[in-house]
């Protein structure tokens, strides 16, 4: 996705990417514009299944980065992964 992000930016489309901790090194290495790093596991970048509040908070935090104008911005989402109370999480 780093390449998609770079190509879109070069084409004039502002982007922000949500990267999990396992890929935390990618945004800086690949020179992507804006990245939010979540402490979430593989396959759950937005949060646990059913955790609508966390999923929304992550998306909102990422979208906020779109307003930045200062060049490459890499920010860590400040809250650790949490499972929901539901049995499948």
Partner 1 sequence: MTTPEGEPPLTLKDFSDSFFYGSRSNLDFKFLADLSDTETAAFAYDDVPFSILTTPLAQSRVALVTSSGHFVAGDDPKPFGVEQMTQIEAEARIGEFIRAEPTLSHVPVETPADQLRVRHGGYPIDAALIDHNVTLPLRAMRELQHDGIIGELAADAYSFVGATSQLKLRERVAPLWADQLRAAQVDAVLLVPV
Binding site for partner 1 (CB under 8 A): 1-19, 22-23, 26, 29-33, 42-50, 52, 55-56, 58-60, 62-64, 66-67, 69, 71-72, 88
Euclidean distance between CA atoms 34 and 51, whole angstroms: 24
- Give the shortest CB-46-to-partner 1 separation in angstroms: 5
Distance of CA 69 to the CA centre of its chain: 18
- Give the shortest CB-39-to-partner 1 separation in angstroms: 14
Reading the block at residue 75, the tokens are: 């920010």
Q: Given the complex with partner 1, which of 70 and 78 has the nearer CB atom?
A: 70
User: What 3-state DSSP class applies to 28?
Assistant: helix
């Amino acid at each position: 996705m780093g390449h998609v992000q770079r190509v879109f930016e070069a084409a004039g489309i502002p982007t922000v990417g949500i990267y999990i901790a396992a890929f935390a090194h990618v945004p800086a290495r690949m020179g992507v514009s804006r990245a939010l790093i979540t402490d979430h596991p593989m396959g759950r970048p937005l949060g646990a299944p059913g955790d609508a509040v966390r999923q929304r908070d992550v998306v909102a935090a990422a979208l906020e980065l779109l307003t930045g104008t200062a060049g490459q911005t890499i920010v860590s989402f400040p809250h650790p992964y949490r499972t929901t109370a539901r049995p499948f999480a």
